[in-house]
Amino acid sequence: MEIDVLVIGMGPAGSGAATAAAAAGAKVLAVDRKREIGTPVQCGEVIGRSLLLRSGLRLPRQAVSSTQDHTRFHIGRELTISNHGEQWASVTVERKILDKLLAARAAAAGASVLADSALTSLSMDGDRVMSATIRVRGVEVEVEPRTVVAADGVHSTVAKMTGVCWNDEDMVARGVEFEMVSKRPLPRCMQIFLEEEVGLGYGWIIPKGRDRANVGLAELGLRERSRQRAMGWIEDNPVVSSYFDGDSVLEVKTGDAPVPGFQGGPTRGNVLYAGDAAGQTLAFVGEGIIPAYLCGLVAGEAAALDPDSYDGALREAMGEELGYGGEVKDAILGIWHDRTLDARQRYLAAGLLMSEAVPPGELEALAGTEGLDLAELRRMLSGSPGLKVSRMRRA
């Protein structure tokens, strides 16, 4: 069967690609290996409100768990920075609902959407995919696509089959989280934790209502994940443990997030890579839902009309946001690997960068990374709009 565009993976990137390609008049087949699109959940389920508004997506009420008006950063168990800037307001969604909603919109636009359908092989002529074999609910079907959009995640099957690597293992954050019931009402903010007990990564409390949240941690470059270590951190951290006990777990979620920094719109032959398969996340926080959807829209339109336009169109549409995310990520890594700083200095400096209290190019102006004085630091940041800085408290 000949088709114009084959989309592999129906997360946000794949659904965006399938929707845009079908809207451009292409004959689109979009497949996902999972029996139920949107499961299992493999992320914190939080999206930035400003990016959501930019995307134009209107979320149905049942897809929204909660909204947060700011983000609170707990740094080294001694400093708290609350950022009330527009970019740090957020919405927590139910991915099981959102992903199916986005896939349904792709089908409504004219794409053929098939769950429980796995890519099993590709026939190549050099870098070009000539045909693909898809196992559709146990039956193998061969299709001949003009263009392929690989939106099949950080460990992309298409990338492996075509012999490319857009995501270095050292630039993949491996996460474990628990959906938990809290002992008392949660504040209307996402909370992020940067501290020695987490390592090169961060922990989080992402509300899903006043008494429920995703709670977990992710580290960069790990080869294995540990649920026991994550639960141990939850029980040990004074803020987290004031809200949660280990006997209130509703769901266990694991997943990997690529944070390589912005690489544009990667292509190989007639294959366009999008979403996590191309590392298209806000690298310093690992947020990928809406960036993936927006990048998928660009990939789908390019796949349908002009594949060669993908990289340029994506840089114009998302280059500023994703490029900035990579810049902050690189600055944080530079601080982390600076052995002239002790652990406390590294976490304080990394926290200043991640919370956007200090831009990457101005960190040295604080020259206080060596022996940072908290009182002086609070004074210096007190005039920054949207920031509230204080000693860390239990809640």
Confidence of residue 347 (pLDDT cuts 50, 70, 90): confident
What would you report as the CA-atom Rg of the chain, rounded to the nearest whole angstrom? 21
pLDDT of residue 266: 96
Task: Out of 113-117, 373-377, 379-383, give the one with best mean pLDDT.
Answer: 113-117
Domain 2-42+96-168+260-328 is of which CATH architecture? 3-Layer(bba) Sandwich (3.50)
Q: Which of 136, 360, 146, 95 is nearest to 269 (CA)?
A: 146
Measuring CA to CA, how many Å separate 233 from each of 24, 45, 198, 237, 393?
Answer: 49, 21, 8, 6, 17
Please provide the distance, in angstroms rounded to a whole number, between the alpha carbons at the two ends of the chain.
59
Residue 367 has pLDDT above 50, yes or no: no
Q: Which has more pLDDT, 13 or 382?
A: 13
Of 118 and 284, the one with more pLDDT: 118
Ranked by mean pLDDT, the top range of 87-96, 253-262, 360-369 is: 87-96
pLDDT tens-digit series, residues 162-205: 999 888 888 899 999 999 999 999 999 999 999 989 988 999 99
The pLDDT, as a whole number, for residue 157 is 96
Q: What letter represents residue 252's amino acid?
A: V
- Tell me the whole-structure pTM to 2 decimals: 0.93
CA distance 95 to 39: 8
pLDDT in tens, 27-80: 999 999 999 999 999 999 999 999 999 888 999 899 999 999 999 999 988 889
User: Average pLDDT over the chain, rounded to whole?
Assistant: 91
Q: What is the DSSP string of 189-219?
A: EEEEEESTTT-SEEEEEEESSTTEEEEEEEE
pLDDT band at 232 (very low <50, low <70, confident <90, very high): very high
Question: Which of 104-108, 145-149, 219-223, 256-260 has the weakest average pLDDT?
Answer: 219-223
Closest CA to 258 of 269, 243, 247, 273: 273
Identity of the amino acid at 78: E
For the chain, percent of residues with pLDDT exceeding 70: 93
What pLDDT shows up at residue 361? 73
Per cent of the chain over pLDDT 90 is: 72
**pLDDT over threshold 60, residue 87:** yes
Distance CA(256)–CA(226), nearest Å, equals: 13
Q: How far is CA 308 from the centre of its chain?
A: 26
More confident residue, 245 or 387: 245
Those residues whose C-beta lies under 8 Å from the C-beta of residue 179, and which sit 6 or more positions away, are 208, 212, 213, 214, 215, 249, 250, 251, 252, 253
**Domain locations in the chain?**
2-42+96-168+260-328
Q: Is the pLDDT of residue 137 over 70?
A: yes
Nearest alpha carbon to residue 291 among 329, 258, 332, 256? 258
